[in-house]
Amino acid sequence: MNEQNRKQVILAAILGIALLGVLVYQFVLREAPPLPSDALGNDQSTQTTGSPVTGAPATVAAPALASAPGGAAPPAGVRAPAPYPTSANKPLELEDIQAMIASVEVKPIDYPQVRIARNPMTPLVGSMRQQGSEGASDAPAEVMTQVKIDTTASKQVSGIIWDPQYPVAIVDDMVVHVGYVFPNGAQVQEIEPTRVLFKVGNTIIPVEMKEY
Closest to 136 in 3D by CA, of 124, 125, 128: 128
- Contact between 162 and 173 (Cβ < 8 Å): no
Provide mean pLDDT across the span 132-145: 65
**pLDDT of 110:** 75
Q: Choose the weakest-confidence range: 114-123, 137-146, 164-173, 174-183.
A: 114-123
Question: pLDDT at position 13, please?
Answer: 86
Each residue's pLDDT tens digit, 65-123: 444 444 455 555 555 554 444 455 566 777 888 888 888 877 777 777 766 666 676 66
Residue 171, exposed/middle/buried by CB under 10 A (0-12, 13-18, 19+)?
A: buried
pLDDT in tens, 12-62: 888 888 888 888 877 776 655 555 555 455 555 444 444 444 444 444 444
Q: What does the pLDDT average to over 161-173?
A: 91
pLDDT at 186 over 60: yes
Per the CB < 8 A criterion, the answer to whether 202 and 189 are in contact is no
pLDDT averaged over the chain? 72
The CATH fold of domain 147-208:
SH3 type barrels. (2.30.30)
- The percent of residues above 70 in pLDDT, for the chain, comes to 56
Q: Residues near 188 by Cβ (< 8 Å), separated by ≥ 6? A: 169, 171, 176, 177, 178, 179, 180, 181, 196, 197, 198, 199
Q: What is the pLDDT of residue 199?
A: 92
User: What per-residue confidence (pLDDT) applies to 196?
Assistant: 93
Enumerate the domain spans of the chain: 147-208
- Specify the DSSP class assigned to residue 197: E
What pLDDT was estimated at residue 207?
Answer: 92
pLDDT the model gives residue 32? 53
pLDDT value at position 164? 86
Would the pLDDT of 168 be above 90?
yes
The reported pLDDT for the residue numbered 80 is 52
pLDDT top residue among 1 and 189: 189
Q: How far apart are CA 151 and CA 171, in angstroms?
A: 13
151, with CB counted inside 10 A (0-12, 13-18, 19+), is middle
Least confident of 42-56, 151-165, 182-196: 42-56
Quickly list DSSP for 149-189.
HHHHHT--EEEEE--SSS-EEEETTEEEETT-B-TTS-EEE
Confidence of residue 175 (pLDDT cuts 50, 70, 90): very high
